[in-house]
Amino acid sequence: MTEPSHPIGPTGPSETSGGDAPSVELPAVELRDIWKRFPGVVANAGASLRVRRGSVHAVLGENGAGKSTLMNVLSGVYRPDEGEVRIDGVAHHFRTPADALAAGVGMVHQEFRLVPSFTVAENVVLGACERIVRRPAVESAVEALAGRFGLAIEPDRPVWQLSMGERQRVEILKALWRDARILILDEPTAVLTPGEADELGAVLRHMADDGRTIVFISHKLHEVTGFCDEATVLRGGKTVAASLSVADTDASELAGLMVGASPVITERPPAREAGEIRLQVRDLRCSDDRGLPALNGLDLAVRSGQIVGVAGVAGNGQRELAQAIAGLRHVESGTVHLVGEDRTDATPRQRFADGLGYIPEDRIGVGLAPRLSVTDNAVLRTYGRHRRGPFLDAASATGHCRDLVDRFGVRTGPLDEPIAGLSGGNLQRLLVGRELVGGPRVVVAAQPTRGLDVQGVKAIQDLLVGERDAGAAVLLISEDLDELSTLADRLLVMHAGRIVAEFDPVTAERHAIGEAMIGHAETADDTGGDQ
Amino acid sequence: MNEASLIGLFEATVSFGALLYLAALGEMIAEKAGILNLGVEGMMAMGAVTGFVVALQTGNPWVAFVAAVAAGASVGLLHGFFTVVLGAEQVVSGLSLTILGLGLAAFVGRGSVGQPAGAEMVPVDWGPLSDIPWAGPILFAQSPFVYLAVIAGFVTWFVLWRTRLGLAVRAAGESASTADAAGHSVAGIRLAAVAVGGGLAGASGAYLTLSLTPQWADGIVAGRGWIAVALVIFGAWRPGRVAVGALLFGLTLALKTRLQTFGVDFSPILLSMLPYLLTISVLVVISIRSRNRPSPAPAALGIAYRREER
Amino acid sequence: MSRPVLVRREQVLRGGQPLAFAVGLAVALVVGVALLVGSGHDPLRVYERMFEASLGDPRAWSVTLNRAVPLGLAGLAVAVAGSMGLWNIGAEGQIMAGAIGAAWVVRIGEGWPSPVLITAMLAAAVLGGGLLALGPAIARARLGVNEILTTLMLNEVAIRLVQWLTHGRWKDPDSHNFPLAPMLPDNARLPGLFERAHMGVVLAAVVILLFGVAASRTAWGYELRVAGSSGATARYAGISLPRKILTVLVLSGGVAGFAGGIELSGTSDRITESLSNGFGFAGIIVAALALMRPSGVAAVALLFGAVQIGGQSIQTMGVSSSVSTILQALILFGAIAAGVLTRYRVEMVAGDATEAGR
C-alpha cells in the first residue's frame, strides 16, 4: 500500500522474486488472503500482512479482530483454511510451531511458557542445546546473546524470582537462541510496567537494526507510534489498512481504523428515565492475580433503569472491577454500595440476597460448574431456598430449573445431565437466566455475549435491556464497542484501572472513544501516566 | 556397646541405605518427569522374586540381576501405559500396581518359598582397602548392590542436571506444556522415566533376594517401598539429599534389631515410625515455605498431559 | 504412516462405566485362565469353586458379605473425599486407628452391657479414624499440604502404633510372651445376622445408604459436588472451601475408622497389626471403579469380597491365593482401559499430525 519510508540497506536475495511481488526487495513475511474458520466463527476472512525485513511492524485491532489467529497461522499453531504463508519469498505450510521455528519464525506468547524452577539459561536452551550441558559455558553463551541485544538478564537466576518484564526477556531470548529471524510478540506490553515497555521498545529497535524482523501486536497507540516502523490494522478478520508507514500517520487515524466508522446496528432500544443510584463504587483499589495494581481509585455509579457500559481494552481492570463488585476479589481500599448500603465486605451470597445478579466473564468454571447437571447449575445461587431440613427438594429444584429453561429458551437435553453438552449460547442463557430470574436490582454483566453466535448475542442483549426496563441498574462491561453503543445509556471508558472518560453513546464519535480506550482521552489530562 | 557391634550397625546402615536408595532414586526419576508411582512396593516385589527365581534356574547372580531389573521396568511401564497413554489417575494406577505386583510376585514365587538361594552376589573384594579399621568393613566389604546404588546416584544426578535429556525430563515434570513446546515428547520422556524408575525398584528388590536375605518369602519387601516413596519427599527430589535421607532411614532400620543390644530402652517400633513422621514434617515445612518460593516438588507431578484440546 | 490418537468424545458414553467394569472383569478372568493353565490347574473348576465358595449358598454369601463390609466402608471413605476431588490414601491406617479406638473402649468397658459396649466401641472407632485424618485435613485446608502423601505416610504410622500396643501395654499376659492383644470378650462381639454374617453388614449398608442419600439429596452433598467440580464456582456460590476440605477429610477418616471398629468387633478375635489386611488400598480401587459414587461402592465391594473369599477357598485345591489378588488388580486395569474408551474415541491419524490433537 505505501512504499517503505526508510529502507534499511541492501538485504537478502532480491532477484528470486516470487511472481507478482511489486517491490524489488522480498518481504520477510507475507501472508496472503488468509482464511481461518472455527465452529461458528470466521476468525480470519481474507486477512493479509506484509512485513519488510529489518522492520518493527505493528499489527493493530480490537479484540476479536483476528490478530491472534493470524499470528497463530504465521507461527504454525494453526493451519489456515485458505491462503498462503511466505517467508522470505518462499511458500511454507507449517504444521507445528517447530516447523515455523525451523523457517525462522519465533513467537513470544502472552502467556509465558517457562519453567519457574529452572534458571534463565536452562529455560533458554531447553530443547536446543548440546547433549551435555556445561552450565558455565551455557550461561555465558546466553549472557552474550542477551548482551548483543541489550537484554539485561542474569542467566543463573531461577525464573520464579524474575519480574514479568524479565520473564518476557527470557521468552525473547528463547526465540533468539533458536535463531528466529522473525519474531512475533503477542501484546508484549500487556504485562509490563510503562518503564519496562519503553525498555522493550529499545530492545526491539536493537533487534531490527540487527536485521531481524519484529511483528508487534498491540493496543497501545503510543507504543506503535513510539517504536514501530509500519502498522497493519485488522478489523472483523480482514486487513483494513496494510503496512501504513507510522511516520505518515497518527494515533487518531489508527484509532479510527481500529474501531471502524460507525456501528452497524442503529436500532436503539428507547431509554427510560433513570431512577435512584443502585450501585456506587468509590475510589476502589484492587490487585490482579499477580499482585499488581489493577484498579487505581475507580469511581462509578449506576442508577435504576439505566445501562452503564464500560468500554476498554482487555486487561485494564475490567475483570477485577466485576469481581470486586461481586465480592470475589479482595478490596484494598474504597467502597462498594449496593442499593444504598455499604456492602464492601459482604460475601457473594449476601450480595446476591441484596439483589445483585452477576454474570461473570468465565462462563464455565466460575459461573457454571461443568460436571454438574443443568438443575444443579440452575439452583447454584438459590439452593438454600429449595431446602427441606437438610434435604434439597429435588422436585422444587427441578421445577425451578424447568421454569428457567422455558422462560429463557435454554435448549437442553435431560435436566439431570451434565451441562457439558450444551452449546455456548445455551450455557449463557442458563447462566444469565439464573441471575435474572429473581428480578435483581443490580446486574453486573462481564463480556456477556463474547463468543456467542448472532442469535445468542441478540437474546442476551434483549434480556439485559428487559432487566433495565424493569428497573434494574445494569453495569455492562464489554470489549464490543458496537454492543456498548447500542445498549448503553451512558458509556464509560476504562483505562489503567480507572474510568478515564464518559461519552453519550448516541452522539459520541467512535474514534474519540477509541483514543480514550488507549489512554489518549481528550476529556481528561491525567490519564497517560499509569502509575 | 563395643566396637564390633557399632561397626555392625553402620555396616547394616549402609546396606539398608543402599536398598532404600535404589528404589527411592527410581521413584525420584519418575516423579521428576511428573509421574507419581505408588507401585514401588509391587515393583520391588517383582524384582525380588524374579531375581530369586532366575538365580535358582541359572545359578548366575548377574543374569538374575538383569532379569530383576527388566521385571521391575516392565511393571513400571504398565503404570506408564495406563497413566501416560490412557491418562488414568496416577494414584489409583500406582496402588493397583502395588497390589498386582505383590500378587504376581507371590504367584511366581509360590514354589520357591523356603528354598536356598540359587546364587548370591558376593561382596566386592577391595583388597587392602577392606582392612582399614572402621571404613574397611563398613564401606569396602559390601555387596555390589551398594556400589551400584552409589553409581546410580551419581549417574542420575549427572543426567538430570547436566544433560539435555535431564533438562527435558525435569521440564516434563515441572511444566509439560513447556517441554512440549520446546519440541520434546512428553509421553516418551515420561514412559522412559517410569521404566527406568521401575528398573531401579527391581534392582532394589533383587538386592533383597540376591544379597541381603538370600531367600524368597511373601512380604519380603515389608513396606520398604513406602519408605522409598517417603524418602523422595524427605530428600526434596535431589539425589544427594535423598542419599543422606537413605542413610538416616537405613540407620533406623539397622537400629531396629539392635536397640536392645546397645542397652537403649526405646521401643524399636516407635523408632520405625520416625521416617514417616519426619517426612510428614518435611511436607508441612515445604508447604509453609512455598508461600514465597516454589515447592521442590515437581510442579506437574500427578497431572496427566494432553495437548490442549480445541 | 498413520497412528492411533485418542479423541475426546463430546458426550461420555451413557452406561459406560458398568460396561467398562464388565470388560475389566472379563479381562481379569481371561488372564486368570492363562495363569491357572500355566500353573497346571483346570481354570473352569477353579472358577466354579471360587463362585461356590463366595456366592454359591447362603453360608458363602454370609462370608462374602462380611468381607464386603470393610471393603465397602473403605471404598466409601475414599469416595467421600473423592467426590470433592481429594484423595484419602490413608484408609488402611484409619481402619487401624478405628480398631485401636474400639479396642481401647473394650479395655475400659469391662462388664458393660453388650449394646452399650458395642455402641461405644463403634463411636470410638469413628473418632479414631477421624483423628488420624485430622492432621492431613488441617494441613490441606490451612496450608495446602498434599493430602495424598500425608495420608499415605500415616498408614505406616498407624500400623506401627498397633504393633507397639500389642507388643507392649496391650499384650495379653496369658499369651506366653507372644505379642498378642487379649481375645475380645463375648459382649464386645457384634451380634450375628444369618449364618456367619454379622450385624456389621447391616450397619455398613445403612452408612453407605446414608452417605448416598446425603451426597445426592442434601444441600451438604450439593455443596460438595459444586466444590468438587470447580473451586471458583464454589466461591461464587458462597461455599467455604477450607471448611469443606476439613469436614470431608475428617469424615472420610471416620468412615474408614468405622470399618476398623466393625472388623474388630465382627470378624476379628483381637486387634492385630494385620487387621486392615489391605482393605484400605482395595477401597481405593473399589471407589475408583464406582466412580466415587456410594451406590456403586456397595456393588463393587460385594464383587471384590466375592473375589477375595473365592480366592481364599481355592487354596485347598493347591492354587495360590495370590490369584485372587491378581484378579482384583486386573479388574481395575481392565476397567481403566475400557473406561478410557467411554470418554475417548480412537482415530487413526496420518503422520505426526497435530491438528487432530487440538
Q: Which tens digits make up the pLDDT trace of A516-531?
A: 887 775 444 443 333 3
Nearest CA in chain A to B162: A133
CATH superfamily name and code, A29-256 = P-loop containing nucleotide triphosphate hydrolases (3.40.50.300)
Instruction: Indicate the pLDDT class of residue A514, thresholds 50, 70 and 90.
Output: confident
Residue whose C-alpha is closest to residue A100's, from A208, A32, A169, A182: A182
User: How would you label A80-114 residue by residue, b for 16+ Cβ within 10 Å and e otherwise?
Assistant: beebebbbbbeebebebbeebbebbbbbbbeebbb
Query: Mean per-residue pLDDT for A427-452?
Result: 91
Structural domain tally of chain B?
Answer: 1
Instruction: Indicate the pLDDT class of residue C336, thresholds 50, 70 and 90.
Output: confident
- Rounded to whole angstroms, the Cα distance separating A136 from C354 reads 36
Residues 86-125 of C with CB under 8 A from A: none
pLDDT at A5: 38
ipTM: 0.91
- Rounded to whole angstroms, the Cα distance separating B157 from B161 reads 6
- Largest CA-CA distance found in chain A, in angstroms, rounded: 84
Nearest CA in chain B to A121: B167
Q: Which residues of A touch C237 (CB under 8 A)?
A: 348-349, 380-381, 383
pLDDT in tens, B256-283: 888 888 888 888 899 999 999 999 999 9
> Does C161 lie at the interface with B, CB-CB under 8 angstroms?
yes
For C183-240, the three-class secondary structure string (H helix, E strand, C coil) is CCCHHHCCCEEECCEECHHHHHHHHHHHHHHHHHHEHHHHHHHHHHHCHHHHHHCCCC
E strands, C291-352, are: 344-350
B106: distance to nearest CA of chain C, Å?
A: 6
Q: Which residues of C touch A370 (CB under 8 A)?
A: 229-230
C336: distance to nearest CA of chain B, Å?
A: 7
| B297, part of any domain | no
A269: distance to nearest CA of chain C, Å?
A: 32
Mean pLDDT taken over chain B: 92
pLDDT at B117: 87
On whether the CB atoms of residues B294 and A116 are closer than 8 A, the answer is yes
Please, which chains are in contact with C (at least 3 CB pairs closer than 8 A)? A, B
Mutate one of B160, B161, B165, B167 to test the A interface: name it (highest A CB count within 10 A). B167
Residues 32-61 of C with CB under 8 A from B: 35, 39
Q: Which residues of A touch C11 (CB under 8 A)?
A: 420-421
Tell me which amino acid residue B244 is: V
Please, which chains are in contact with B (at least 3 CB pairs closer than 8 A)? A, C
Do A384 and C219 make contact, defined as CB atoms within 8 angstroms?
A: yes
Q: Which residues of C touch B106 (CB under 8 A)?
A: 320-322, 325
Burial of C50 (0-12, 13-18, 19+ CB in 10 A): buried
E strands, C234-328, are: none
pLDDT in tens, A48-73: 999 999 999 999 887 678 888 899 99
Closest CB from A95, A358, A371 relative to C229: A371
On whether the CB atoms of residues B115 and C328 are closer than 8 A, the answer is no
- Rounded to whole angstroms, the Cα distance separating C336 from C177 reads 47
Task: Kindly report the pTM of this predicted structure.
Answer: 0.87
Residue whose C-alpha is closest to residue A418's, from C293, C335, C14: C14
pLDDT in tens, C234-254: 999 989 899 999 999 999 999
Query: What's the grid cell of residue A454?
Result: 448472532
Write out the residue range of the structural domain in which residue B182 sits: 3-120+143-289
> Does B290 lie at the interface with A, CB-CB under 8 angstroms?
no
pLDDT at B36: 97
Instruction: Indicate the pLDDT class of residue C339, thresholds 50, 70 and 90.
Output: confident
- Rounded to whole angstroms, the Cα distance separating C332 from A355 reads 49
Mean pLDDT taken over chain C: 90
> Does A115 lie at the interface with B, CB-CB under 8 angstroms?
yes
- Rounded to whole angstroms, the Cα distance separating A454 from A451 reads 10
Do B164 and A131 make contact, defined as CB atoms within 8 angstroms?
A: yes
Closest CB from A97, A113, A129 relative to B164: A129
Residue B237 maps to which CATH number? Answer: 1.10.3470
pLDDT at A37: 87
Nearest CA in chain B to A108: B181
pLDDT at B225: 95
On whether the CB atoms of residues B220 and B235 are closer than 8 A, the answer is no
Q: Which residues of C touch B227 (CB under 8 A)?
A: 156
Residue A502 three-state SS? strand
- Rounded to whole angstroms, the Cα distance separating C157 from C149 reads 13
Q: Which residues of B touch C135 (CB under 8 A)?
A: 280
Query: Mean per-residue pLDDT for C26-41?
Result: 91
Looking up cell 445431565, which residue turns up? A417
pLDDT in tens, C283-331: 999 999 898 888 899 999 999 999 999 988 998 888 888 888 899 899 8
Instruction: Indicate whether A333 pLDDT > 90.
Output: yes
Do A131 and B165 make contact, defined as CB atoms within 8 angstroms?
A: yes
Nearest CA in chain C to B106: C322
pLDDT at C351: 47
> Does B184 lie at the interface with A, CB-CB under 8 angstroms?
yes
* Strands A277-287 and A41-51, bridge-based pairing: unpaired
pLDDT at C33: 94
On whether the CB atoms of residues C324 and C311 are closer than 8 A, the answer is yes
Tell me which amino acid residue C104 is: W
pLDDT at C318: 85
Q: How many CB atoms lie within 10 A of CB A131?
A: 8
Query: What's the grid cell of residue B85?
Result: 497413554
| B296, part of any domain | no
pLDDT in tens, B15-66: 999 999 999 999 999 999 999 999 999 999 999 999 999 999 999 999 999 9
Nearest CA in chain B to C85: B89
Q: Which of A356-360, A374-378, B134-138 has the lowest mean pLDDT?
A: B134-138
C10: distance to nearest CA of chain A, Å?
A: 7
Selected residue with higher pLDDT from C35 and A16: C35
B31: distance to nearest CA of chain C, Å?
A: 13
Q: Tell me: domain A277-371+441-517, CATH 3.40.50.300, correct? A: yes
> Does C229 lie at the interface with A, CB-CB under 8 angstroms?
yes
Q: Which residues of B touch C6 (CB under 8 A)?
A: 86-87, 306
| B225, part of any domain | yes
Residue whose C-alpha is closest to residue A53's, from A94, A105, A110: A105
Residues 198-227 of C with CB under 8 A from A: 214, 217-222, 225-226
pLDDT at A7: 37
Query: Mean per-residue pLDDT for A479-507?
Result: 89
Q: Which of A14-18, A27-31, B13-17 has the lowest mean pLDDT?
A: A14-18
Nearest CA in chain A to C240: A347
On whether the CB atoms of residues C224 and C244 are closer than 8 A, the answer is yes
Do A113 and B175 make contact, defined as CB atoms within 8 angstroms?
A: yes
pLDDT at A17: 39
Residue B304 three-state SS? coil
Query: What's the grid cell of residue A358?
Result: 452477576
What residue segments make up the domains of chain A, in order of their start? Answer: 29-256, 277-371+441-517
> Does A139 lie at the interface with B, CB-CB under 8 angstroms?
no
pLDDT at A11: 38
pLDDT at A375: 93
> Does B162 lie at the interface with A, CB-CB under 8 angstroms?
yes
B303: distance to nearest CA of chain A, Å?
A: 15
Mean pLDDT taken over chain A: 85
Do C218 and A349 make contact, defined as CB atoms within 8 angstroms?
A: no
Residue whose C-alpha is closest to residue B198's, from B38, B89, B16: B38
Q: Which residues of B touch C8 (CB under 8 A)?
A: 309
Interface contacts A/C by beta carbons within 8 Å:
73
Closest CB from A115, A117, A132 relative to B162: A132
| B130, part of any domain | no
B243: distance to nearest CA of chain C, Å?
A: 19
Closest CB from B168, B174, B181 relative to A117: B174
Q: How many CA atoms lie within 13 Å of C267's alpha carbon, on the beta-carbon side?
A: 21
- Rounded to whole angstroms, the Cα distance separating A232 from A248 reads 13
> Does A394 lie at the interface with C, CB-CB under 8 angstroms?
yes
Instruction: Indicate the pLDDT class of residue A314, thresholds 50, 70 and 90.
Output: confident
| B265, part of any domain | yes
| B301, part of any domain | no
Query: Mean per-residue pLDDT for C207-212?
Result: 95
What residue segments make up the domains of chain C, in order of their start? Answer: 64-302
Cα separation of the two ends of chain B? 69
Query: Mean per-residue pLDDT for A298-325?
Result: 92
Q: How far is CA A504 from the centre of its chain?
A: 25
Q: Which residues of C touch A368 (CB under 8 A)?
A: 233
pLDDT in tens, A209-261: 989 999 998 766 777 888 899 999 998 889 998 888 988 888 778 878 877 76
Do B78 and C332 make contact, defined as CB atoms within 8 angstroms?
A: no
Q: How many CB atoms lie within 10 A of CB C160?
A: 23
> Does C148 lie at the interface with B, CB-CB under 8 angstroms?
yes
* Strands A105-108 and A182-185, bridge-based pairing: parallel
- Rounded to whole angstroms, the Cα distance separating C105 from B303 reads 43
Q: Which residues of A touch C233 (CB under 8 A)?
A: 365-369, 380
Q: Which residues of B touch A134 (CB under 8 A)?
A: 162
Q: Which residues of C touch A347 (CB under 8 A)?
A: 238
Closest CB from B78, B230, B302 relative to C153: B230
Length of chain C: 358
B159: distance to nearest CA of chain A, Å?
A: 8
Instruction: Indicate the pLDDT class of residue A267, thresholds 50, 70 and 90.
Output: low
Q: Percent of chain A having pLDDT more than 70?
A: 89
